[in-house]
Amino acid sequence: MKSCSVVDRVMFPKHYTIDLKVDKRQFCYLLGTAVGLKVLHLTVKNVVDRWRLRGLPGLRNDPIIGSGLEINKMKKSEEFMDLLNDVSKRFENEPMWIIWIGLRPVIFIQSGATMEPILTSSTYLGKAYDEAKEFFGDGLFISSGQKWRDRRKLLTPAFHIDIIKSFKDSIHHHVMNTVAYIGKQNGASFDIQAKLGESTFTNLLETQFGFEGEWTSCISQELRKEYFFALRTLLVNNSLKVSSLICKIPILRHFTTIMATERKYKQTLIKITKTLIATKIEQRNKETVRPTRLLNLLIDQLQRPNSGITIEDVVDEVNAFVFAGFDTSTSALTWIFFQLALDQQVQEKLRKELLDRFKPGTALSLDELNSLIYLDCVIKECMRVYTPVPVIARRDHSLVVPIEDGKTFTIPANVPVRLFISGVHKYKKAWGDDADVFDPDRFLDPARDARTKNAFNFIPFSAGPRNCIGQRYAIFVIKAFIAQLIMNFRLKTQLTRDTLKPCLAATLFAKDGLIVTAEKLT
């Protein structure tokens, strides 16, 4: 076959043939013109963005490379979370700041008051998670507009308070299995993050998806391990994507080993999830009573004519909810137990509150757990200091937001915005000079509780129309695990806040695990 630079023959139906002769000079000229126009477009756009975003504090913006040089100077480690925390401290008195990724601006907001109009808007709902679509599809967590509204309406009944309360026995079963596992360690050190991940994972499958016997009867032990390993690998993989500049370039990221690994494990999840869904559909066709569970709602919609939902949609939603559901709870519990292991005084105070009311091993209802005031303060303070989901991405139409002293700023349309929830939770203008200090008692003092100034100063589960749909379920699980583990064990660790650095993926997690010891108390 001849080179396209000499002759290309284009065949049409029947007898039509056209010879396309392309001169090398012409080709180079056309290619150069196209590249030049693209560079001109990006340059003009960058100039316009600079002008529209003038006045916003942020890292230096050099031609073409943006804030690259300054980021390189500031990075103390490979963890992107460290960089964000350093930039946040540098602009600790600013409600918002900007980083330039090449020619692209990214706005970070760390003031609850500035963030409020974005979170409460009924129209500014676009989530800038293009990379995540490759894994989650276009489901509830990623979609926007009418599709998001329809899917949210469909799935909300699965998280009704009465449904959540009905999970009491199932949650308690998995909590006590964890207690038994920890007891068998006989005081030896172990990775509590790994065990919490496994326990919250199986609990979620049983409660929200109804995978009880199916999980063991349809899926071999080897495949179950492979499924969980795939989930954990994708979590770590996501942290690598967050830190990788190449993975932010659409054309290039598909050729990285990170993306190759992700595609491999995504196929593992899809294969096993489809098997479970098929089994559940067959089972449901024989049922007369159908509990209101998330998967049941999806299957009902799938089987309804012209519903617009496909089996691929159901698979995407299941994988997304499994990933987010167990991962958020695991993240919160990991950092709560880390902080309690560090602060023995707080741990003892919490234990006293629990033992004054309940006996170890007692199955506790959501109402009973919610009546524990100090437990609530400990959870809130841990989620303030170690926010499970530190950053939320948004991008939509232009929007006016308040900054300070009655001033406002207009966020231009389609400019990526990062709601830096972790920064909001440590914003000193709201939380005071001791914002970095762990102290659960601050939530007992209205003068120190920044929520009294603005409810959006504390939003661990986001807020507004796109808040976490499963937050009440997550709180039930978190409180149940804390109550039993603290009543049964005294947790300790050799790690410190300096040696255990949070790693940012979809959530905050300990990259090398959380190693603790557990002394039996009963």
Mean pLDDT of all residues in 103-118: 93
Q: 124: pLDDT confidence band, cut at 50, 70 and 90?
A: low
Residue 27 and residue 97 in one domain? no
158 and 26 within one domain: no
Rounded to the nearest 5 degrees, what angle is found at the Cα of 286, between the Cα atoms of 285 and 291? 80
Q: What is the CA radius of gyration of the chain?
A: 26
Q: Are residues 417 and 516 in the same domain?
A: yes
**Residue 2's pLDDT is what?**
43
* Statement to judge: residues 511 and 454 lie in one domain: yes
Same domain? For 40 and 90 the reply is no
Q: Is residue 408 part of a domain?
A: yes
Name the DSSP letter for residue 475.
H
Collapsed DSSP state (helix, strand, coil) of residue 169: helix
pLDDT tens string 430-468: 999 999 999 999 999 999 999 999 999 999 999 998 899
The yes-or-no verdict on residue 258 having pLDDT over 60 is no
Task: Specify whether the CB–CB gap between 321 and 229 falls below 8 A.
Answer: no
Range of lowest pLDDT (17-26, 112-121, 247-256, 281-290): 247-256
Q: Tell me whether residue 290 is in a domain.
A: no
Q: What is the pLDDT of residue 241?
A: 46
Determine the straight-line distance between the first and last CA of the chain, rounded to whole angstroms. Answer: 80
The whole-number pLDDT of residue 269 equals: 77
β-sheet bridge partners, residue 169: none
28 labeled part of a ligand binding site? no
Domain-embedded: residue 105: yes
500 plus 385 within the same structural domain = yes
pLDDT beyond 70 at 386: yes
Quick check: is 313 in a domain? no
**3-class state of residue 420 by DSSP:** strand
Which has the minimum average pLDDT: 78-92, 169-183, 463-477? 78-92
Q: How far apart are CA 203 and CA 477, in angstroms?
A: 9
Kind of pairing between the strands at 391-394 and 417-420: antiparallel
What per-residue confidence (pLDDT) applies to 238? 52
Residue 382 lies in a domain: yes
Whether residue 370 is contained in a domain is answered as: yes
Confidence check: pLDDT of 469 > 50: yes
pLDDT for position 487:
98
Confidence of residue 132 (pLDDT cuts 50, 70, 90): low
Contact 96, 56 (CB under 8 A): yes
Domain boundary among 26, 52, 78: 52
Q: Considering the domain boundaries, does residue 493 fall inside one? A: yes
In whole numbers, what is the pLDDT of the chain averaged over residues?
A: 83
Q: Which three-class secondary structure state does DSSP give residue 160?
A: coil
Give the model confidence (pLDDT) of 293-328 as tens digits. 888 899 989 888 888 888 888 988 888 888 778 889
pLDDT confidence bin for 226, thresholds 50/70/90: confident
Higher pLDDT pick, 208 / 169: 169
How would DSSP label each residue in 360-419?
TTPPPPHHHHHT-HHHHHHHHHHHHHS-SS-EEEE--S-EEEE-STT-EEEEPTT--EEE
Q: How far apart are CA 141 and CA 138, in angstroms?
A: 8
Q: Which helix (H) or strand (E) holds 476?
A: helix 471-488
Residues 6 and 144 in one domain: no
**Which of 1-5, 74-78, 358-362 bottoms out in mean pLDDT, i.e. has the lowest?**
1-5
**Between vectors from CA 390 to CA 334 and to CA 515, what angle results, nearest 5°?**
20
User: Is residue 227 over pLDDT 80?
Assistant: no
What distance in Å separates the CA atoms of residue 417 and residue 423, rounded to the nearest whole number?
14
Give the CATH number for residue 426: 1.10.630.10
Confidence band for 40, pLDDT divided at 50, 70 and 90: confident
> pTM of the entire structure?
0.86
pLDDT value of residue 180:
97
Same structural domain for residues 369 and 433?
Answer: yes
Does some domain include residue 347? yes
Task: Average the pLDDT over each of 42-51, 237-246, 369-378 and give the range with the smallest value.
Answer: 237-246
pLDDT score, position 77:
54
Residues 6+ apart with CB under 8 A from 204: 321, 322, 325, 326, 329
Segment 88-109 mean pLDDT: 92
Distance of CA 30 to the CA centre of its chain: 44
**Residue with more model confidence, 439 or 202:** 439
- 3-state secondary structure (DSSP) of residue 330: helix
**What domain range is 334 assigned to?**
64-211+325-520
Distance CA 208, CA 158 (A): 8
* Backbone dihedral angles phi then psi of residue 410, each to the nearest 5 degrees: -100, 115
Residue 343: alpha-carbon gap to chain centroid? 27
Q: What is the pLDDT of residue 235?
A: 60
Residue 440 per-residue DSSP state: G
Find the range with the poorest average confidence among 54-63, 207-216, 249-258, 403-412: 249-258
Kindly state whether residues 345 and 399 are assigned to the same domain.
yes
Identify whether residues 134 and 29 lie together within a single domain.
no
Same domain, 514 and 442: yes
How many domains is the chain partitioned into structurally? 2
pLDDT of residue 470: 93
Which residue's structure tokens are 């009973």? Answer: 368
Residue 353 has pLDDT above 90, yes or no: yes
Smallest CA-to-CA distance from 108 within 133, 81, 140 is with 81
Who wins on pLDDT, 484 or 238? 484
Q: What pLDDT, on a 0 to 100 scale, did the predictor assign at position 334?
A: 97
Q: What pLDDT was estimated at residue 437?
A: 96
pLDDT at res. 126:
62
8 A C-beta contact, residue 115 and residue 419: yes
What pLDDT does 259 receive? 60
Do 154 and 28 belong to one domain? Answer: no
CA distance 392 to 466: 11
